[in-house]
Amino acid sequence: YVLKEGRYSYQYAVNLINRLTKNQSIKVLVAEDSTATRSYIREVLKRNLFQVVEASDGQEALNAILADDEIRLVLTDYNMPNMDGFELVHELRHKHEKVDLVIIGLSSANESHLSAKFIKSGANDFLFKPFSQEEFACRIFQAVESMERLEEMRRAAYTDLLTGVGNRRHLIEKARTAFAQAYESGNPLALAAIDIDQFKHINDDYGHDAGDAILVAFAAQLQQSFGRFIVARTGGQEFCILFSGLSSEQAAKMVDLVRQQVENEFYQTSVGEVSMTFSAGIAQLPAENLEALMSDADQQLQAAKEAGRNQVSF
| 148, interface contact from ligand GH3, Mg ion, none, CB < 5-8 Å by kind | none
Give the nearer residue to Mg ion in terms of CB position, either 137 or 194. Answer: 194
Are the C-beta atoms of 280 and 304 separated by less than 8 Å? yes
Q: Which does 77 bind (CB under 5 to 8 A by kind): Mg ion, ligand GH3, none?
A: Mg ion
Regarding 128 and contact with Mg ion (CB under 5 A), the answer is no
E strand or H helix that includes residue 74: strand 71-77
Cβ(74)–Cβ(104) under 8 Å?
yes
- 81 contributes a contact to ligand GH3 by CB under 6 A: no
Q: Does 79 bind Mg ion (CB under 5 A)?
A: yes
CA 224, chain centre distance (Å): 18
CA proximity to 73, closest of 24, 28, 104, 15:
28
Q: Name the 3-class secondary structure at 163.
A: coil
Report 205-234 residues binding ligand GH3 (CB under 6 A).
208, 211-212, 215
Evaluated on CA atoms 75, 79, 83, 88, the torsion sign reads positive
C-beta of 236 vs 272, nearer to ligand GH3: 236
Omega of the bond leading into 130 within 30 degrees of 0 (cis): yes
Binding mask 9-38 for Mg ion (x = CB under 5 A): ------------------------x-----
C-beta of 56 vs 269, nearer to ligand GH3 = 269
Nearest to 32 by CA among 9, 6, 58: 58
Verify binding: residue 195, ligand GH3, rule CB under 6 A: yes
- Say whether residue 57 binds Mg ion (CB under 5 A): no
User: Site for ligand GH3 (CB under 6 A): how many residues?
Assistant: 15
Residue 141: what residue type?
F
Residue ranges binding ligand GH3 (CB under 6 A) = 195-200, 203, 208, 211-212, 215, 236-237, 305, 309
